[in-house]
Chain A
Amino acid sequence: MISGDTNELKVTFEFTKPNSSGESASSELAPTIINSVEATSLDSAINLMNTYVSKEINLSHCKAIVISESLAASGISKLLYSLMNKVQIRPDTNIIISKCFAKDFIQNTQPNLENLVAKYYEIAPVSSEYTGYTVNATIGDFFNQFSCQTCQPTATLRCY
């Protein structure tokens, strides 16, 4: 969702379009909308997005936060503090570091087996419970390890 081109943060949001018919029985992927804005900090990016989109953004169902590798290399402590200060972000939101730009990662993630992208983002990183290749990295754990003086935080690095 976040990648740094210039000094400004480029923040990308992916929303799922609600199915406007009364009965939703489709077995295909629900359509999504991807929008990005550029701003100096995360809070101003969310504010800017709120002015574009007609509905108020509520992050309590946000399932994944994607940070690009180039941004992560230059330190994300400011970002992390502003995320954790929000009441709406849950501590079990997954955190993903992507090899490419975050916007490309989001645009190219097209899950085949689910109706909702949110469900995919929720359960895909949790495959660490039955595989050995990844780690279940949530933002809560990340932050706790980050502020602890005796351990290092870990997050998963993915390319789409």
Chain B
Amino acid sequence: MSQTTKIGNIEAIFLIVTIMINHIILNLPKFLLDKTHSGSLLNIIFITLIVLGIVYFISKLLKRFPNMDILDISEFLGGKILKYTIGILFMIYFLFFAGVFLRSFCESIKIIYFPTTPVMFLIIFFIIGMMMTNRLGTNAIIRANLIFIPVILFTIILIFFANIGNFTMQRMFPLLGNGIMPTFLSGLSNIFAFGGIAFLYFIPPYLKDAKEFKKIAITSVILSGIWLLFSIATLLFIFPSIVTTDEILPLYFASRFIQFGRFFQRLDAAFLLIWIISMTSYLSITLSFATNIFKKVTSFKYPYLIVYGGCLIVFLLSLIPKNYVQVHFLETTIYQYFVLSLIFAISLSILIFATFKRRKQIRVKGDGFIE
């Protein structure tokens, strides 16, 4: 699609925060808590700072490539082959995990509200919603996301503050959890929680002003980190750490405790309504970025067919796992390794090598940049 309209700063920030929020709603906090127990608070602060550093580094590297996303940079570095490879990898990442997260969310909703409905019907609902929003274009989805995000952010904060009466602060101790090594060193792998920065690599062509990239990246990482901290704190303080009955949508279970007097009880369905909207937004954004990669890598003439194809692929991928345990495995362990390797390792190395090549080019040829 032609980038005739650009998106502004706040829209870009909220775009990336959306990804983190949706992972928070699903199983991410529980997985992190299971790994580092009561040291999670310090761990989260630690990894937020690390990711801040990484993102600052990325923005410095991307300064040499204004308005280029990672596909253009990989084309610059290694020609069309590298561009296709990276494009396919990222497309797989987006589509596969969209399918996995969709399945996870639908399984959770099925357990809560629709015990007798086959999961396929719930998935089809989401797929139809995704299809309709993607036909309208990426810009419309990003703007709609902008409208809903403040409400979604507010609900997660509300769960934290409304549950203060149920907190036992002693669960915070021991502060270092299982020890310094597990918390800080092997806990470093927890940076997979910030898988949302995959979208940072694709945002530069959309921005109105390429110089704002640093501000956008840093603000979004800080916001995501704060909200992750809040949600993990909520779960840490309410539930004892060896409870194994809250494997699905742990924040939903935290919201069931909220009670204001006798009237405002049992508000969890309202929270779930807002989280369904958030999930639809996340899926639409992911699919639209995946189709944009496809359009960039090939030059397909019919954009609508790509949308239908993408929806079909996500639908089929979401039906692959046979039961909830497989989904859980995919969305925590496999996701962790995929994010760490693709988004942090491979992409960063591409950026670094491209910077070297560019520097060599400037030294040899001067600063005439070829696009």
Interface residues of A (CB under 8 A from B): 60, 81, 84-85, 87, 90-92, 122-123, 140-141, 144, 147-150
The 5 closest A-B pairs by CB, nearest first: A148-B240, A147-B240, A87-B112, A147-B243, A84-B245
Q: Does B35 contact A (CB under 8 A)?
A: no
* B266 A60 Cβ-Cβ under 8 A: yes
* Between-chain CB contacts (< 8 Å), 23 pairs: A60-B266, A84-B245, A85-B245, A87-B111, A90-B256, A90-B266, A91-B256, A92-B259, A92-B265, A122-B262, A140-B256, A140-B257, A144-B238, A144-B239, A144-B240, A144-B243, A147-B240, A147-B242, A147-B243, A148-B240, A149-B240, A149-B242, A150-B170
CB-defined contacts of A81 to chain B, threshold 8 Å: 245
* B262 A123 Cβ-Cβ under 8 A: yes
Label chain B's interface by main secondary structure: loop
Of A87, A140, A149, most buried by chain B (CB within 10 Å of CB) is A87
CB-defined contacts of B240 to chain A, threshold 8 Å: 144, 147-149
* 5 additional contacts (CB under 8 A) given A90-B256, A150-B170: A92-B259, A140-B257, A144-B238, A144-B239, A149-B242
Cα(A81)–Cα(B243), bound, Å: 11
Cα(A2)–Cα(B232), bound, Å: 36
Interface residues of B (CB under 8 A from A): 111-112, 166, 170, 238-240, 242-243, 245, 256-257, 259, 262, 265-266
CB-defined contacts of B111 to chain A, threshold 8 Å: 87
Of A60, A90, A141, most buried by chain B (CB within 10 Å of CB) is A90
* A92 B245 Cβ-Cβ under 8 A: no
* Nearest B residue to A148, CB-CB: B240
CB-defined contacts of B166 to chain A, threshold 8 Å: 141
CB-defined contacts of B242 to chain A, threshold 8 Å: 147, 149
CB-defined contacts of B239 to chain A, threshold 8 Å: 144
* Nearest A residue to B246, CB-CB: A84
Of B112, B238, B256, most buried by chain A (CB within 10 Å of CB) is B256
* Nearest B residue to A138, CB-CB: B257
Q: How far, in Å, is A30 (CB) from chain B's closest CB? A: 18
* Nearest A residue to B257, CB-CB: A91
Cα(A125)–Cα(B243), bound, Å: 26
CB-defined contacts of B170 to chain A, threshold 8 Å: 150
Cα(A150)–Cα(B245), bound, Å: 19
CB-defined contacts of A140 to chain B, threshold 8 Å: 256-257
Of A60, A141, A147, A150, most buried by chain B (CB within 10 Å of CB) is A147
Q: How far, in Å, is A73 (CB) from chain B's closest CB? A: 24
CB-defined contacts of A60 to chain B, threshold 8 Å: 266
CB-defined contacts of A85 to chain B, threshold 8 Å: 245
Cα(A90)–Cα(B111), bound, Å: 15
CB-defined contacts of B245 to chain A, threshold 8 Å: 81, 84-85
